[in-house]
């Protein structure tokens, strides 16, 4: 019979269990542009998707079919018109995705179509890890050490299936163009990225041959390029966590390989939280924070977004984000802490900006991480542990290499003044052209945050 595989965030052929299931028949590979999903997608994600779908189409000999319309009606219509007997897809775990998939499955099955939805994006199903008393974990370490590691080991990756593709009647690739914005900020943003399954594999191999050795210590140094940069590839499913996990497991076991696997497990933990708390992206996990006295300050928010706060490490991070669609993990923590604590702006504002501008913007990782930094989540860094961005910068970017890459204005100062230019003597500061004074005093704003926190019931 004719089988339709509905590609969503599993834009790869290898280790795609649902696609392998579809390959038992003649395959129609489909990607559907659902207007409500497109509207919810960030601008940087759309650009990545544009390139990733082109790459996928190539590996499908140009046979990827693009459809447009609400999934709920457009997919069943296409299935009926094309006499499709079986539909396959990779499971989603975000609340909107779960809801849509359940409804669609019921409709298709009601029409006599077989549906197979399989896990192709997580090492463990998010409902698998449970405490002995049956309740979900809220803290990472026991989740990973007891919940996950006690479960079956991640399944071995599958090879790419041999596909008998049903030829498509006409070329529909023009639909992809709606993913690109009018302004061409994204051309430079995509420099250095290689979206698609082949690009993901190259990134994994490069990581294993290079930065994996030393990962545990260097992963915190933003100038070191010591991480895998697999996050957008993982988000779009151009590579599966199983493929990564098993490739790492083939290497001699070291504290670096163990630490890298635990970072993959943080991604699992985020999905576990999102699955258990579908409103993770807008509701405090800890409802004590519902009474937090956040400030409305559009001008400050805008200076944060544009990398004009006058705090060099914060500005470097925000400019890296704008220029590359990515930000180093340590710096994500620093800029998030600055927004939430030194500016007292709601973490949802930060989440929204990251959602729009990150190429790896992910409903689970983004929400779980913002709540984690805010201290409003599970397993939180306590709110009162407030990063000092200058201390952080001196520790993790001692030579200010990262700072000057993204804030070139600071190259006019001697290195020792680049972390906190306002502390430099006036004579030296004269060289600083156009770089703003700090938006807030770090000490005063820290005290203000602690006062706000202690006002909570
Ligand atoms: P590596 O260090 O090479 O790690 C490998 C993989 O493990 C990553 O690709 C990622 O999938 C996973 N991982 C690593 N660190 C974390 C973590 N702390 N939490 C969850 N998974 C992790 N990550 C996203 O994928 N999407 C987001 O939208 C996102 N938003 C974030 C927002 C904030 C405020 C913070 C502090 C972190 C956020 N992260 C997010 C987590 C982390 O910063 C990125 O996953 C990581 O920087 C990606 O770079 P990498 O692939 O080189 O990571």
Reported as a single tens digit per residue, the pLDDT across 40-79 is 999 999 999 999 999 999 999 999 999 999 999 999 999 9
216 and 355 in a single domain? The answer is: no
126 and 114 in a single domain? The answer is: no
* Residues designated as active site: 263, 266, 294, 329, 347, 370
Q: Which residue, by CA, sits nearest to atom 18 of ligand 1?
A: 266
- Answer yes or no: is 308 within a domain: yes
- Answer yes or no: is 404 within a domain: yes
Pocket test for ligand 1, best of 360, 368, 373 (most atoms within 8 A of CB): 360
d(Cα 348, Cα 325) in Å, to the nearest integer?
Answer: 19
**Residue 230 alpha carbon, nearest atom of ligand 1:** 51
Does residue 353 line the site of ligand 1, with CB under 6 A?
Answer: no
Question: 377 pLDDT exceeds 80?
Answer: no
131 and 41 in a single domain? The answer is: no
| Domain C-terminal end among 213, 243, 276 | 276
291 and 419 in a single domain? The answer is: yes
Which residues are known binding-site members? Answer: 215, 227-231, 260, 360-362
**Residue 207 alpha carbon, nearest atom of ligand 1:** 3
Question: 3 pLDDT exceeds 90?
Answer: yes
**Residue 231 alpha carbon, nearest atom of ligand 1:** 9
247 and 354 in a single domain? The answer is: no
- Answer yes or no: is 177 within a domain: no
Residue 385 belongs to domain with CATH number: 1.10.579.10
d(Cα 204, Cα 196) in Å, to the nearest integer?
Answer: 12
- Answer yes or no: is 189 within a domain: no
Nearest-CA neighbor of 330 among 415, 224, 407?
A: 224
- Answer yes or no: is 181 within a domain: no
What's the mean pLDDT in 244-264? 97
Question: 216 pLDDT exceeds 70?
Answer: yes
Question: 380 pLDDT exceeds 70?
Answer: no
The reported pLDDT for the residue numbered 20 is 98
| Domain C-terminal end among 68, 101, 120 | 120
What range does the domain containing 385 cover?
Answer: 287-454
Q: Which residue, by CA, sits nearest to atom 3 of ligand 1?
A: 228
132 and 249 in a single domain? The answer is: yes
**Number of domains present in the structure of the chain:** 3
Does residue 262 line the site of ligand 1, with CB under 6 A?
Answer: no
Alpha helices in 277-362 (DSSP H): 298-306, 312-324, 329-337, 347-357
d(Cα 222, Cα 330) in Å, to the nearest integer?
Answer: 7
271 and 395 in a single domain? The answer is: no
232 and 296 in a single domain? The answer is: no
State the ipTM, two decimals.
0.99
User: What is the Å distance from ligand 1's center to 266 Cα?
Assistant: 8
- Answer yes or no: is 175 within a domain: no
Q: Give the pair of three-digit tokens for residue 407.
A: 């804030």
Q: Give the pair of three-digit tokens for residue 189.
A: 């943003």
Tens of pLDDT, residue by residue over 79-101, are 999 999 999 999 999 988 999 99
291 and 424 in a single domain? The answer is: yes
Which residues are known binding-site members for FAD? Answer: 215, 227-231, 260, 360-362
CB atoms within 10 A of CB 393: 27
Residue 203 belongs to domain with CATH number: 1.25.40.80
208 and 324 in a single domain? The answer is: no
Give the DSSP letter of residue 335: H
d(Cα 341, Cα 453) in Å, to the nearest integer?
Answer: 9
Task: Enter the pTM of the model.
Answer: 0.97
- Answer yes or no: is 300 within a domain: yes
- Answer yes or no: is 213 within a domain: yes
| Domain C-terminal end among 250, 276, 302 | 276
């Amino acid at each position: 019979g004719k089988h339709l595989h509905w590609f969503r965030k599993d834009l790869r052929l290898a280790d795609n269990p649902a696609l392998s299931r579809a390959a038992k028949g003649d395959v129609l590979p489909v990607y559907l542009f659902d207007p409500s999903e497109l509207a919810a997608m960030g601008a940087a994600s759309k650009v990545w998707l544009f390139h990733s779908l082109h790459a996928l189409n190539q590996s499908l000999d140009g046979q990827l079919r693009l459809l447009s319309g609400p999934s709920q009606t457009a997919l069943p219509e296409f299935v009926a018109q094309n006499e499709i007997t079986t539909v396959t897809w990779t499971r989603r775990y975000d609340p909107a995705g779960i809801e849509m998939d359940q409804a669609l499955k019921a409709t298709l099955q009601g029409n006599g179509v077989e549906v197979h939805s399989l896990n192709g994006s997580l090492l463990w199903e998010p409902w698998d890890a449970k405490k002995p008393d049956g309740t979900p974990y809220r803290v990472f370490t026991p989740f990973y050490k007891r919940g996950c590691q006690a479960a079956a080991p991640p399944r071995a990756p599958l090879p790419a299936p041999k596909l008998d593709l049903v030829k498509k009647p006409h070329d529909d690739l023009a639909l992809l163009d709606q993913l690109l914005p009018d302004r061409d900020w994204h051309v430079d943003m995509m420099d250095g990225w290689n979206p698609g399954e082949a690009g993901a594999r190259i990134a994994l191999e490069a990581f294993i041959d290079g930065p994996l050795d030393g990962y545990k210590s260097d992963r915190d140094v933003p100038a070191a390029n010591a991480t895998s940069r697999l996050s957008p590839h993982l988000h779009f499913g151009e590579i599966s966590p199983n493929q990564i996990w098993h490739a790492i497991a083939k290497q001699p076991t070291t504290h670096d390989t163990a630490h890298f696997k635990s970072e993959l497990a943080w991604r699992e933990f985020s999905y576990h939280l999102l699955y258990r708390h579908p409103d993770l992206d807008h509701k405090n996990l800890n409802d004590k924070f519902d009474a937090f006295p956040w400030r409305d300050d559009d001008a400050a928010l805008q200076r944060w977004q544009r990398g004009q706060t006058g705090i060099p490490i914060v500005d470097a991070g925000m400019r890296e984000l704008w220029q590359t669609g990515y930000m180093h993990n340590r710096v994500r923590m620093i800029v998030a802490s600055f927004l939430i604590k030194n500016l007292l702006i709601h973490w949802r504002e930060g989440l929204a900006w990251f959602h729009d501008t990150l190429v790896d913007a992910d409903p689970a990782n983004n929400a779980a991480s913002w709540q984690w930094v805010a201290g409003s989540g599970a397993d939180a860094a306590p709110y009162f542990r407030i990063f000092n961005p200058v201390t952080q910068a001196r520790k993790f970017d001692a030579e200010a290499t990262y700072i000057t890459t993204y804030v070139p204005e600071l190259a006019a100062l001697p290195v020792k003044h680049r972390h906190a230019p306002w502390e430099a003597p006036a004579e030296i500061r004269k060289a600083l052209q156009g770089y703003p004074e700090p938006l807030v005093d770090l000490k005063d704003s820290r005290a203000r945050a602690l006062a706000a926190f202690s006002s909570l019931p």
